[in-house]
């Protein structure tokens, strides 16, 4: 499973800068010019990343399987 990676993307046009993701997952998101950006595009699988995507009020965060492109969060 060591090769498994998730891809984290933030749509800066959709993000409203609530800061929820940066507060709940500071190792993964930071606010820049009042919009979130992922600290790393590719990450080790971690529930906190999924939780952040599910918690974003405007679903600006999308987590996909880096290998397959399968969408993991938020649920559609
Ligand atoms: S939780 Fe969503 S809206 Fe809030 S800062 Fe993060 S990406 Fe932007």
Distance (Å, whole) CA 20 – CA 36: 9
Q: Are 22 and 15 in contact (CB under 8 A)?
A: no
Q: Are 42 and 53 in contact (CB under 8 A)?
A: no
Percent of the chain predicted with pLDDT > 70? 97
Q: Average pLDDT in the 37-65 region?
A: 98
Given a cut of 60, is residue 51 above it in pLDDT? yes
pTM of the model: 0.94
Buried b (16+ CB within 10 A) or exposed e, 20-36: bbbeebeebbeeeeebb
Would you place residue 1 in the very low, low, confident or very high pLDDT band (cuts 50, 70, 90)?
low
Q: Average pLDDT in the 3-16 region?
A: 96
29's CB contacts (< 8 A; 6+ apart) are: 10, 21, 22, 36, 37, 38, 39, 52, 61
pLDDT, tens digit (0-9, with 9 covering 90-100), for 52-74: 999 999 999 999 999 999 999 99
* Ligand 1 pocket: which of 12, 16, 29, 54 to mutate (most atoms within 8 A of CB): 16
* Ligand 1 pocket: which of 23, 28, 36 to mutate (most atoms within 8 A of CB): 36
Nearest CA to ligand 1 atom 1: 56
């Amino acid at each position: 499973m060591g090769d498994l990676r998730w891809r984290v993307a933030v749509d800066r046009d959709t993000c409203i800068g609530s800061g929820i993701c940066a507060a709940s997952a500071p190792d993964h998101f930071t606010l820049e010019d009042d919009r979130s950006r992922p600290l790393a595009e590719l990450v080790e699988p971690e529930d906190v990343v999924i939780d952040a995507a599910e918690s974003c009020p405007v679903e600006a965060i999308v987590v996909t399987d880096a290998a397959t492109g399968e969408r993991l969060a938020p649920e559609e």
